[in-house]
Amino acid sequence: MSEVLHLTGTILVDDDTELDEAWVVDGRLSLRRPDSAGPARELTGWVLPGLVDVHCHIGLGADGVVTEEDAVLQGKADRDAGTLLVRDAGSPMDNRWVQERADLPRLIRAGHHLARPSRYLRHYGLELDDVAQLPEAVADQARFGDGWVKIVADWIDRSLGADADLTPLWPADVLRDAIAAAHENGARVTAHTFSHEAIDPLLDAGVDGIEHGTGMDADHIAEAARRDIPVTPTLLQVGRFTDIADQAGAKYPVYAERMRRMHARRYEHVQALHAAGVPLLMGSDAGGTIAHGSLPAELAEVARAGVPAADVVGFASWRARRILGVPGIEEGASADVVVYDADPREDVDVLARPSAVVLRGRRY
pLDDT over 90 (residue 272): yes
Q: Is residue 316 part of a domain?
A: no
Give the per-residue pLDDT at 37. Answer: 65
Give the per-residue pLDDT at 47. Answer: 98
Distance CA 36, CA 61 (A): 47
* Domain match, 194 and 78 both: yes
Distance CA 200, CA 80 (A): 39
Is the C-alpha dihedral spanning 33, 38, 42, 48 positive or negative?
negative
Q: Is residue 306 part of a domain?
A: no
> Of the candidates 273, 293, 313, which is a domain's last residue?
293
> Of the candidates 293, 314, 346, which is a domain's last residue?
293
Distance CA 34, CA 23 (A): 8
Neighbours of 13 (CB within 10 A): 18
What is the CA 97 to chain-centroid distance, rounded? 20
* Domain match, 282 and 178 both: yes
* Domain match, 30 and 176 both: no
Neighbours of 142 (CB within 10 A): 24
Distance CA 92, CA 144 (A): 13
Q: How do residues 108-124 score in pLDDT, each as one tens digit?
A: 999 999 999 999 999 99
Q: Is residue 357 part of a domain?
A: yes
Distance CA 104, CA 88 (A): 13
- What's the chain's average pLDDT? 97
Give the per-residue pLDDT at 284. Answer: 98
Could you give the 3-state DSSP secondary structure of residue 236?
Answer: helix
Q: Is residue 155 part of a domain?
A: yes
Distance CA 210, CA 202 (A): 9
Q: Is residue 65 part of a domain?
A: yes
Work out how many domains the chain is built from and give that number: 2
* Domain match, 353 and 216 both: no
What is the CA 254 to chain-centroid distance, rounded? 29
Give the per-residue pLDDT at 193. Answer: 98
Q: How do residues 273-327 score in pLDDT, each as one tens digit?
A: 999 999 999 999 999 999 999 999 999 999 999 999 999 999 999 999 999 999 9
Domain hosting 27: range is 5-47+328-363
Q: Residue 253 gets which letter from DSSP?
A: H
* Domain match, 215 and 342 both: no
Among residues of the chain, what percentage have pLDDT more than 70? 99
Contact 57, 287 (CB under 8 A): yes
* Domain match, 12 and 100 both: no
Distance CA 165, CA 194 (A): 11
Report angle CA 298, 211, 305 to the nearest 5 degrees: 40
> Of the candidates 293, 308, 340, which is a domain's last residue?
293
Q: How do residues 51-84 score in pLDDT, each as one tens digit?
A: 999 999 999 999 999 999 999 999 999 999 999 9
* Domain match, 64 and 164 both: yes
User: If pLDDT is split at 50, 70 and 90, which confidence band does 2 have?
Assistant: confident
Using CB atoms within 10 Å of the CB of residue 298, give its burial: 0 to 12 exposed, 13 to 18 middle, 19+ buried. Answer: buried
**Confidence (pTM):** 0.97
Neighbours of 61 (CB within 10 A): 19
User: If pLDDT is split at 50, 70 and 90, which confidence band does 138 have?
Assistant: very high
* Domain match, 141 and 192 both: yes
Q: Is residue 21 part of a domain?
A: yes
Q: Is residue 320 part of a domain?
A: no
- Domain harbouring 131, CATH code: 3.20.20.140
Nearest to 50 by CA among 358, 311, 363: 358
Q: Is residue 309 part of a domain?
A: no
* Domain match, 192 and 337 both: no
- Domain harbouring 17, CATH code: 2.30.40.10
* Domain match, 25 and 71 both: no
User: If pLDDT is split at 50, 70 and 90, which confidence band does 203 have?
Assistant: very high
* Domain match, 268 and 346 both: no
Length of the chain in terms of residues written = 364
- The residues facing 88 across adjacent strands are 56, 109
* Domain match, 41 and 92 both: no
- When pLDDT is averaged across residues 13-22 and rounded to a whole number, the result is 98
